Structure 1
């Protein structure tokens, strides 16, 4: 049984157990939750302790890898540029789509209030400062203090400056520093794997408290969350089709047929990396030269998370709305930037592994609490399927678009050569 399945079953069991305790032994609610609450919080702390070193190392290694890829050739440079545009547009789309969906289908007031009460302490969040102070605080006066205080936006700005500065130093020293942060990144992922291994216990404890204090409304709220975040990812995923048709000059029916095998692999594995062989076969079926797909698809798997910025940002906006955190244009813009950057640095792993590390900085930027993520990670399986499906379809759409652009460039070069020869 996969870790995500075990965690999901623990969530269901915990909520059901909490509801039964509240219904048949209400006098036991306080004693039980007084024990379960600290256990769940300890597990959540275990996840949170990895966030700062993981995010910093992911950004350093991610920027270094992206910069190196952009310098690998003209095709690679165009691919990286297109991927960055797609990810920026993805984050911006979530800033509009998520509030819209929450207005069309809002979370019931009673369920939201019950869940806030159940997650003790989560409702206490840092107030977002005035716009002027917020902008001034983006540049950290003390990078170590910003990291210690989990001031993710300031820490991310410093990480970016540090990563770009690495590109200007001696290649040997740059490789040494990059390898150091690669080791830190991999070590943190191992720690996250350990914490997720005991995840069923932690999630069961958190869910037990929620079930005892929020009742059946907890299930309603979690289903509402899954549908809202998945809807945002689905809309972003569907935009890949017109890109392939318009940018790649591929017939819609042809693109749909060619992508079916890739989608099947993506659903079964929940991994873009595992879907790479199927994507190569699909790209060949659409007439993409192997020389082009062999460059762009591995780059897309390594860099492009088209649905990541949108869905990560959607989770943060959902939590902020859930806890009544006001969202202003400046914080939404900063949140979109952080969502894009953390997605850029994320490794190609199932969403359950990278969920906390990728979304916590976005929540912190918006002033939303991080504690609910310990509960939401348990239902990440369905949104993660949507993430992976969208990612592989965008990988294919950008590949056929870049292949057409490559053909245009080659045709223009041939025309110039023929003109010179004439």
Structure 2
């Protein structure tokens, strides 16, 4: 009940944020045309309010990511200890996530080659971000070459790395720390896990507080866009939505191919079996809400045993989201192209490693929270500015639909793959 109520509140908030985005663009365009009381002083105040809201989100990144990674690794270790099927499932998840990460770079970079961002549109959108956004590129992790990148993976001083936003080093340290805790005795491991779970939940509470005023923050940022460039940024936001959604749709289609080949099931049967769960995913944007339907379709239509479905699907909902790396990297690459940030093999490696690690830690978070908690660290790892992310957060409600549909499709494909063998004929009709 609490989870359902929370998602309802966040869905309502998403609508308010969209309205704030549209209202801010319109109000800014009107102010540009007819003037604004207070002139440059008012504009500076609006910029300061937008920056304040952005800083409030940024301050949670390091403690939230570190805590989520430690607790996420602990949960994976506990799941893997439950038996052979769980270990096989974790292996399938890992292979699919790595494949999805490779696909993410190929798809997003390819889409930008086919349908690039308009230079005028990019300038328009950047004009409304806090002053200096385009120049506020973090130090490129690959600036010293591949050898410098390797040496940066282990922070000599984790506290300083956190202060310098050296997110990839923090991610590596968190992973090592998380796996190290699994080697402790239970009496020592449990308090550590409980502490970081508490830290993560505390950060999530703070993020909820910040998101509660998201309409005001987004309105201030959108008003800045409208003041400097009118409503032309709306076209860039539409282009952004289209490219992220196209990358996710491509992943869904590729998941069908993987399920058919690796899961040894007919394409028509898998498509028909997955469709009801996808409909629920489309309408609820919640993988957890789709779990009963996924179990029903896996057992009744996809030839998955009750035991396998009962273990793999809840585990997939808890620790496996294949669309995380694809959508997150699509966002980061879009911002990189928008701001003119160079994407090299080194930064791609850094971003891919960060995206894989973050996908473990942020599963189960509501879309509005996971958007910033997962994308901002990847931006930092690849040296991409963060200032335009709040404007993209305002339209995340559309890509989030395809994120959920893709996750549900991959969960069912993973269950079919873990089951192995040819899919038997369903013994009973599906409940639909």
Normalising to structure 2: TM-score of the pair? 0.91
- Please show how residues 207-222 of structure 1 align to structure 2 within 5 Å: 207-222=222-237
**Residue 138 of structure 2: aligned partner:** 126
Deviates more, 1:24-33 or 1:359-368: 24-33
- Identify which range, 302-311 or 113-122, moves more after superposition: 113-122
Residue by residue over 1:326-372, the C-alpha shift from the partner in whole angstroms, topping out at 9 and shown as x without a partner, is 11101101101101110111132332121111011100111101111
2:417 alignment partner, one of 392, 395, 401: 401
Query: 2:275 and 2:92 mapped to 1: Cα distance?
Result: 24
Residue in structure 2 matching 1:341, options 357, 360, 368: 357
1:22-421 mapped onto 2 (5 Å cutoff): 22-25=32-35, 30-119=40-129, 120-123=131-134, 124-128=136-140, 129-131=143-145, 132-285=147-300, 286-404=302-420
Cα deviation for residue 116 of structure 1 reads 2.3
Q: Which segments of structure 1 move beyond 4 Å, counting only runs of 4 or more?
A: 26-29, 405-408
Unmatched segments (≥5 aa) in structure 2: 1-10, 425-432
State the 1:248 CA deviation: 2.2
Contact preservation (8 Å) 1:118, 1:214: yes
Paired positions, count = 408
CA distance in 2, matches of 1:349, 1:261: 24
Give the CA deviation at 1:299.
0.6
Q: Residue by residue, what CA displacement relative to the aligned partner does 1:177-198 show, whole Å, maximum 9, x if unpaired?
A: 1111111111111111111111
Q: CA deviation at 1:247?
A: 2.1
The whole-number CA distance in structure 1 between the counterparts of 2:155 and 2:115 is 39
Per-residue deviation, 1:27: 7.8
CA distance in 2, matches of 1:405, 1:333: 35
CA contact (8 A) 1:272 1:392 kept: yes
Instruction: Return 31-40 or 336-345, whichever deviates more.
Output: 31-40
| Aligned equivalents of 1:264, 1:406: Cα separation in 2 | 26
Contact 2:67 2:196 in 1 (8 A): yes
Q: Tell which deviates more after alignment, 111-120 or 36-45.
A: 111-120
Q: Provide the rounded CA distance (Å) in 2 between the counterparts of 1:71 and 1:305.
A: 21
Q: Which moved more, 1:65-74 or 1:128-137?
A: 128-137
Contact 1:11 1:204 in 2 (8 A): yes
Cα distance in 2 for residues equivalent to 1:216 and 1:101? 25
Secondary structure, aligned partner of 1:84: helix
TM superposition shift of 1:214: 2.2
Whole-angstrom distance in 2 between the partners of 1:15 and 1:244:
44
Aligned partners of 1:406, 1:191: CA distance in 2, in Å? 49
Residue 164 of structure 1, CA deviation = 1.2
Verify the 8 A CA contact 2:281 2:401 in the aligned structure 1: yes
Contact 2:167/2:380 (8 A) holds in 1:
yes
Q: What value does the CA root-mean-square deviation take over the aligned residues?
A: 1.7
Task: Tell me by how many angstroms 1:296 deviates.
Answer: 0.2
Instruction: Give the TM-score normalised by the residue count of structure 1.
Output: 0.93
Alpha-carbon spacing, 1:406–1:178, altered in 2? closer, same or farther (3 Å): farther
Contact 1:29-1:212 at 8 Å conserved across structures = no
For each residue in 1:138-182, what CA deviation from the matched residue of structure 2 results, as whole angstroms up to 9, or x when unmatched? 210101111122210010111111111111111221111111111
Residue 29 of structure 1 and its aligned partner are, at CA, apart by 5.6
Structure 2 residue matching 1:55: 3-state secondary structure? helix
Cα distance per residue 1:35-79 (max 9 Å; x no partner): 211111111111111111100001101111111111210000010
Q: Could you give the per-residue CA deviations for residues 378-415 of structure 1, whole angstroms, max 9, x where no partner exists? A: 1100111110000000000111111125999xxxxxxx
C-alpha contact 2:167 2:377 (8 A) present in aligned 1: yes
- Runs of at least 5 residues in structure 1 that lack an aligned partner in the other structure: 409-422
